[in-house]
Amino acid sequence: MATKKITKLTTEQTSALKTHADAWIARALEERPARRDIAERGIRAYYRIAGLADPRAIVWMPGPWSSLLARPDVARLVDASAQVSAQVSDQVHDQVHDQVSDQVSAQVHDQVHAQVYAQVSAQVSAQVYDQVRDQVHAQVSAQVRDQVYDLVYDQVYAQVRDQVDAQVGSDWTSYVGGAGWAGWPAAWATYYRDVCGMSFAPEATQAAEDATESWWWWPTRTHVVVCERPCRIRRDDRGRLHSADGAAIQWPDGWGVYCWHGRRVPKEWILHPETLTPSVALGQTNADLRSAAVEIVGWPRILAELPTRVIARDPNPQIGELLSVDLPGSPDQRCVRTVCGTGRPVVLLTSREMRTPREAIARSYGLTEEQYQPEVRT
C-alpha cells in the first residue's frame, strides 16, 4: 500500500529517468536465452493475481512462428494428459509443420489472456494514480514508458508481430507481449519502485517485471505457450531493425525478420543480394520497398549496370535530378532521384514528357511546375 505520495520528482529522480528507460530498452532487447525460472515465476504470479488456478503446463517454444503453430498441439496434449512433461515440447516440435494455421483458432480454447493481463495492469495502474500526481506520472510516462515503447515496441516488436500476422492472420491473438511490452507497465512501475522507493502493488510490479523475461506468451486456463527470446537483434543507429548480412531479428528456431533500416524486405534481398538487380529494385511497386531496394543495390551499381542519362538537375536536393533509365521492357524510363522530407533517398517514376525534376514532381501531384511551391517538405 501507499507509503508516500509523490507530487514532484527530485533532481536525482529526474536525471534517473533516461538511465532507467535506457536500461529497460537494453534489457528488453538482450540477445540471450530467457531465464525461464524468472519468466515462469512471473507468469504464475499473473494467474495468481487474476484468481486463476496455476497453469498445468508451461511449454516453451523456440520462436514466434513455431509458438503459433504449436498452440493447437499443446492444447490437445494438455487436454489429453494431466501429466504433461518436458517431452511435450519435443512432440509438438515434431508435428509443427504438419499443422495448418486454421486449426489454431478452433483448438486453442478457453483463453484467459485478457483476464490475466488486465489484473496486473489494473493493480499497478490504480496504485500509481492514487499515489502519484498526474503531472509526475505524465513526466515518467513520457520519459520512460514512451521511450521504451518507441524503441522496443514500435521499432522491433511491431515489425515482428506484423510479419507473423502476415503469415498466420487472425490466429495471432490472445497473447501477452513479454519483453516487447516492457514499456507497460514493467518499465515505469519499477521506476517508482527502484528510483522513488515507492512500494505499491509489489506482487503485480514484480510479476510484470518477471514476465518480460520471455517474449510473447499465450495463456489459457490450463496451460501457457511461451516464446523464447530472440538470439539475434540488429538495429541501426536510430534503433530501427536493420541488417545487411542476415535476419535483423531471429529466434533459435531460425525464424526471423529481414529489415533494411526499419523496412521489412524479402529475405533473398539480404541473403542473396546478387538476385536483387537494378531492374528488380526500380520495378518495385511499393515506394518503401523500392527505396530500400535501391539503397541495397546502391546507385553506383544501378548506374554501372543500366544505361542511364541525366536529363536535368535541380540545385535543390529535395527536388533532385531527372534521369533516363533503360529498364527491361521499358526503355527510356524516366525517374526522379530525390530525397524526401526525412532525408531518405526516393525514386519517383515519371513520364517521358517531363523536362525537369520539378516538373515531374509537380505532375506527380497533378500540378504544374508553377503551382508546385511547397514551403516545407517533411
Partner 1 sequence: MEPKKIDQQAAQGDILIRRITALPPAAKRAEPTNGRHIVAHSETGHHHYLEAVGVERWTDPSNPLVCYLRMEGGPVDGGAVLTHARPYDTHAPLLLGEGWWEIRRQVEMTPEGWREVMD
When the beta carbons of 95 and 141 are compared against partner 1, the nearer one is: 141
Strand, helix or coil for residue 308: strand
Q: What letter represents residue 104's amino acid?
A: V
Check binding of 271 to partner 1 (CB under 8 A).
no
Please, which of residues 124-183 interact with partner 1 by CB under 8 A? 150, 154-155, 158
- Contact region with partner 1 (CB under 8 A), list: 21-29, 31-39, 211-219, 343-351: 343-351
Compare residues 149 and 216 and give the one whose CB is closer to partner 1: 149
Contact call for residues 167 and 257 (beta carbons, < 8 A): no
341 part of the interface to partner 1, by CB under 8 A: yes
Torsion of CA 138, 142, 145, 147, to 10 degrees: 180
Helix pair 36-49, 113-131: axis angle to 10 deg: 80
CB of 322 to partner 1, least distance (A): 12
The Cα–Cα gap between 20 and 236 comes to 21
Q: What is the CA radius of gyration of the chain?
A: 25
Q: Pick from 348, 357, 358, 359: which binds partner 1 (CB under 8 A)?
A: 348
* 216 neighbors 201 (Cβ within 8 angstroms): no
- C-alpha 68/C-alpha 61 separation (Å) is 9
Q: Does 320 bind partner 1 (CB under 8 A)?
A: no
Read off the C-alpha cell for 301: 551499381
Minimum distance from residue 278 beta carbon to partner 1 (Å) = 15
Identified binder of partner 1 from the candidate list 53, 80, 82, 376, rule CB under 8 A: 376
The site map against partner 1 for 321-340 (x = CB under 8 A) is ------x-xx--xx-----x
Interface residues with partner 1 (CB under 8 A) are 150, 154-155, 158, 238, 240, 261-263, 283, 285-288, 327, 329-330, 333-334, 340-342, 344, 348-351, 364-367, 372-378
